Amino acid sequence: MAIVFYIAAMVAVVSTAMVVTRLNPIHALLYLILSLLSTAVMFYVLGAPFVAALEVIIYAGAIMVVFVFVIMMLNLGEETVRQERVLLKPAMFVLPAILAAILGAELLYLLYYGGRADTGQGVVGPKQVGVSLFTTYLFAVELAAMLLLAGLVGAFHIGRRESERELTDTEGTSEVRRAQPELGRK
């Protein structure tokens, strides 16, 4: 079983690196879905089958589909690839990569400085998770519900303003100049 974990981890790391370096948003998105699916495999091997299912259904399923919707709606394709080719020079990776490497090295140092430990041998099933979720963490569940409501209301608010503007102003002249007074009015 352990070899499955390491293969999935390798797939996850490689596909995550591909997400960051792609020019076409759809390609990046498909690599991210691959990364999430291999993370789900890792969860399963580690003994968390419920969360593995949630990762596939909610993360790779629902959240990524929203991304696909938006990218398809914006009709990003060749134009974005050309634009990104100008924006994304290999030299731009140098400094952030060094900074992130320093951070990662620090984390790894702390990781290996402590003692070693194996992961547990048991499986934490949905029942235990559900009991814990609705007894110990009940208040946090209600806070998460409030957060989702706030997200819903916020998305509706931001999206509605745009569609109204499109309805009232059908001429596509000077989009930037038209947008700025409205941004100021917020």
Partner 1 sequence: MADIPVEHGLLVSVIMFSIGLIGLLVRRNIIFMLLSIEIMFNAAGLAFIVGSTRWIQPDGQVMFMFILAMAAAEVAIGLALVLAIYRGFNTLDADRASRMQG
Q: Which of 72, 85, 151, 164 binds partner 1 (CB under 8 A)?
A: 151
Q: How far apart are the first and last CA of the chain?
A: 55
Size of the site for partner 1 (CB under 8 A): 100
Site for partner 1 in 60-99 (CB under 8 A): 62-63, 66-67, 70-71, 73-74, 76, 80, 83-84, 87-88, 92-93, 95-97, 99
User: Which 8-state DSSP code applies to residue 91?
Assistant: G
**Shortest approach of partner 1 to residue 51 CB, angstroms?**
5
Residues 6+ positions from 52 with CB-CB distance below 8 Å = 40, 41, 43, 44
**Angle (CA) 136 142 146, round 5°:** 155
Does residue 123 interact with partner 1 by CB under 8 A? Answer: yes
- Cβ–Cβ < 8 Å for 77, 31: no
Site for partner 1 in 24-53 (CB under 8 A): 25, 28-29, 32, 35-36, 39, 42-43, 45-48, 50-51
* 124 to 143: interface string for partner 1, x by CB under 8 A: x---xx-xxx--xx--x---
Distances (CA, A) of 185 to 66, 150, 161: 29, 22, 12
Residues present in the chain in total: 186
Does residue 155 interact with partner 1 by CB under 8 A? Answer: yes
Does residue 154 interact with partner 1 by CB under 8 A? Answer: yes
